[in-house]
Structure 1
Amino acid sequence: MKSEQLSESTLLKPLVTLSGSAADTVIGPPLGRVDIGVNESAYICRVSLPGVRGNDDKVKCNIERSGRVDIEGVVTESQFVKNSSKEFKIALQQLSPPGPFKISFNLPGPVDPRLSSISFKPGGILEVVVMKFRVPQLSANGMFEKWYDCSSLPLHV
């Protein structure tokens, strides 16, 4: 039982690679923090993207069958902050600096990228839900019996 817990916790600690403005954040809410959740049929990941506008086409999320997730975008904060009819000059900046970024990580197993949902949540959180890659197991007469989890199979991409 303990070895199962160890291997499961190791799977849930993926290597996250940050570049661009995501790597330059030293103070304030960090760009690129990742939470990953797992259930029987899917993975969910939530990525912190403060300063990124989710309604722009400037955020791209690519999901590969292997479970690799690449998120690219641009932090678009300007030198002046607009609030209603007033402008404010930035005197102290602790959020991520403006510029392009890329965040890459691997989910614990293979996925079906066609069956994914990507949405921006309040507070600059990008949420990605993607179904695990599974194949149906058929009986001898060709009838569906159950889903076979492919997380232990080698991938041929």
Structure 2
Amino acid sequence: MDAQDFSDTSQLKPSVVLTGTAKEGSAAPPIGLVDIGTSDSAYLFRVALPGVCKDQCKVKCEIQRDGRVHIEGVITGGVLKDTSTVYLMRVQELCPPGPFTISFNLPGPVDPRLSSPTFRPDGILEVVVMKYRTPPIPPP
């Protein structure tokens, strides 16, 4: 990465909008932190969702052609269950239970059909989405 590439990274800092319990979780590890990477053909974004369990919160990620990303889900909480024990949470340091949304824009247009989301075990939603390419015009 040369000096010019480094100076351009400030333009990649997304404007992120949080609502619901994602906005209220001030003492917890922050939910909704976003990193965006670019290549010649795709964008990669990672969204921090600490305390969100893939199987319990039903995270939904919608990507629009203009590069707008909208993530929503519901954080379950208050009562945690493992195989044989039920825990009633008395201290709630992570994001409180309830619905949340996270919205931001990628640096350019994308092809939403060509995306590969992965919800990692560490609470990071990682998505690769291909940039939109204008189809070439065949020669006459």
1:7-86 superposed matches below 5 A? 8-55=8-55, 58-77=58-77, 79-86=78-85
Alignment partner, residue 108 of structure 1: 107
Q: How many angstroms apart in 2 are the aligned matches of 1:58 and 1:107? A: 23
Q: How many angstroms apart in 1 are the aligned matches of 2:34 and 2:40? A: 20
2:10 is paired with a residue whose SS is: helix
RMSD: 2.1
1:81 is paired with a residue whose SS is: strand
CA contact (8 A) 2:21 2:98 kept: yes
Structure 1 position 130 matched with structure 2 position 129:
yes
Deviation at 1:81, TM superposition (A): 2.2
Which letter does structure 1 place at the counterpart of 2:119? Answer: F
Change (3 A) 1:34 1:81: same
- Taking only the aligned residue pairs, the percentage that are identical comes to 53
CA contact (8 A) 2:14 2:34 kept: no
CA contact (8 A) 2:57 2:76 kept: no
Q: Select the structure of larger CA radius of gyration.
A: 1
Which structure has the higher relative contact order (CA within 8 Å, separation 6+)?
A: 2
Normalised by the length of structure 2, the TM-score is: 0.87
CA contact (8 A) 1:119 1:127 kept: yes
Which letter does structure 1 place at the counterpart of 2:108? Answer: G
Deviation at 1:76, TM superposition (A): 1.0
Change (3 A) 1:16 1:76: same
Q: How many angstroms apart in 2 are the aligned matches of 1:3 and 1:81? A: 49
- Show structure 2 runs of 5+ residues with no match: none
Which letter does structure 2 place at the counterpart of 1:70? Answer: H
Deviates further, 116-125 or 61-70? 116-125
2:134 is paired with a residue whose SS is: strand
Which structure features the higher share of strand residues? 1
**Cα deviations by residue, 1:39-83 (Å, 9 ceiling, x for unpaired):** 111001111112323235722111111110000110012x23223
Change (3 A) 1:89 1:112: same
Alignment partner, residue 89 of structure 1: 88
